[in-house]
Every structure is written in structure tokens, then in C-alpha cells.
Amino acid sequence: MHALAQVAFGCQWDPSTGHVRAWPLRLSFGTAGPETTVDAMLDGGPGHTYLTLDQLLSLIAELTEPDTPIELINSPPGLAYRLHVAGYHVAFQP
């Protein structure tokens, strides 16, 4: 199980459509605040939750399309590789 501390989207201007895109998806790992649910985190509540790699991949697939870049902060081992194999563009932050 891996502690997921935050799920957030950055915003970028999409020059092809002239609209703001939720881009990239940022996932921060670690413990921050009380243990909570994924739904509470997505609603902006404080806390962290524990997920397996398969649950993390399912969550990412529900939140975004494969062409969306994903930034991983303090990522668990194996997640970046599995996202890469699934067709996602992965970046890391310290």
C-alpha cells in the first residue's frame, strides 16, 4: 500500500482550442494530515489515503486521458514504469 497525499491538476492554455486544460495531473505521495477517502481528497479535503499500485492506475485512468502528462512527487517504486507502459507521459519532481 502506498500513501497518496494529494491529487491535483495544473492548468495550461490549449492553443488549438483556446480553452484552459486541466494539465498536468500531479500526484504527491506521503502522509499529510488524517487518513481519509479518495473521494474526500478529490473534493479538496485534507489528508491522505492508502492505495495499491493497481488502485492508483485505476484512479489515474478514471481522472485523465493517456495523453495527459502526469507529474509524480515522491512516487512509489514501479508506478512510473506501469504508467509508461500504459501510454502516459511521466515526469518527476523531488
Mean pLDDT for each consecutive 10-residue tract of the chain (94 residues)? 89 75 84 92 90 94 86 91 91 65
To the question of pTM greater than 0.85 for the whole model, the response is no
* Cβ within 8 Å of residue 31, ≥6 positions away: 3, 5, 48
Those residues with Cβ within 8 angstroms of residue 48's Cβ, 6 or more apart along the chain or in another chain: 3, 4, 5, 30, 31, 32, 33, 34, 35, 36, 41
Determine which helix (DSSP H) or strand (DSSP E) holds 85, and give its type and residue range: helix 79-85
Residue 44 has what pLDDT?
Answer: 83
Name the E strands within 1-94.
Answer: 2-14, 19-29, 49-51, 69-73, 89-93
pLDDT of residue 83: 93
